Every structure is written in structure tokens, then in C-alpha cells.
Amino acid sequence: MGGGSSKEMADTFVVKPQSQHKSTLIFLHGLGDTGQGWSMSFEQLKLQNIKCICPTAPIQPVTLNAGFRMPSWFDIASLSPDADEDAEGIKKASDALKELIASEEKLVSSENIYVGGFSQGGAVALYTAFTIDKPLAGVIGLSTWMPLHKQFDPQAVKMNRDIPVFQAHGTLDPLVPKLWGDITGELLKKITVKHTYKTYPIMHSSCQEEMDDVKSFLESLAKD
């Protein structure tokens, strides 16, 4: 994604629904991870009508890690809230996610496609949901933040206002502090009244309770 094309992604892992395919979740992993682990987590949820697509980011150098190459959706210079952001990389990653959405529209309408992600992947999902020019089913953001928030005007969002959003964060997160989640939550409230924000006593990770809540969120919105 950092290269701007979904064709440049590495392995993509797909979890088929337990029964008839009616909607799709495209979920992006965090920095240095792959889609495989998240696909295993979604497989355990046994979603009835929702297919899950978990792509893997391309390998590229990350400034935060002294230029070490790893799976990354965009570059990160620092974990400081005042650090410069990789605006070009974020927008290219978002464009590639939009390509994935367009490809999945061959099977289901965009109104039946959810986007989501963990940490860096969640940032791409949030940015995409509110800059795309087509309606989506909902958004999931775990341990994440709204990127380019200084440039982001909630009042300028035209598409996907009042879209259902499930946001979650660990209260003990040392990498993406809960404060970032709180600030992101306040911004999201200015876009949608269908915003759910839950916290868990975990660090920069997920837990079974959180995943159960993700399942409940998805299945409550699944169309018959």
C-alpha cells in the first residue's frame, strides 16, 4: 500500500463466511505485522455472512525503526503527537485500500463493505472511510488514531456521515496512548452519532473481549 497500489501488497489472507456471503470486512494490520495473524483471529469469530480480507503491507523502510525494512502501510517518523506525518504515504495507502474496495464491489455493493484495522492499519481505515466517494457499511478502529488530523475537517466530510464506527483502545497502551484514542473519538463524534468507543485493560494489543465486541458490532449491522 505504501507504494500506492493494491497490486504491490504481499500475501492477502481471506476468511470465508460460515454461510452465505452478504458483506465483507477489509482489515489492515499494524506496523511490522502481517495479515495472517488477524485472519486467524477473525476465523475464530466464525462470522456467519461476513467475509474477512486481511492484506499484508509491502516491505519498506520505517524511519521510526532506524530505516529497518518491515511491513508498513506508510512511514512513521516518531511516536510523538507533534511529529511530522507521512502525508503522501498515508494518502497512497488510502488509495490502495480504495482499490481493494472497488475490487470487492464485483461481489457486494460498497454499502456492504466494512473497513477496519489495528494501529497503523486502523489509521488508514479511518482516513479512507471519510475521504472515499462511496458509501460504506461501517468502520472498525482498534488501538489507533486519525492520521493527518490537523488537516482533517470533520465538517467537510460529505460521504459516510453517521456511518457506524466501532473504536477500541487499551488503557495501558504505551505505543499509541489512550489519549490519542480519546482525541480521535472526539473527532469522530463530530462526524457520526453512531460511534461506539470501548476501552480494555490491555497494552498495544487485542484481547478476546475486544474481539467479541467486534463480532457483536459486525453482526448487529449485518443485513438480512
Residues taking part in catalysis = 119, 173, 204
H or E segment to which residue 200 belongs:
strand 195-200
Q: What residues contact residue 210 under an 8 Å CB cut-off, 6+ apart?
A: 142, 168, 198, 200, 202
Nearest Cα residue to 166 out of 193, 135, 126, 139: 139
Residue with the three cell numbers 495473524: 37
Q: Which helix or strand (DSSP H or E) is residue 90 part of?
A: helix 87-104
195-200 vs 165-170, strand pairing mode? parallel
Q: What are phi and psi of 41, to 5 degrees?
A: -65, -45
* 93 SS3 class: helix
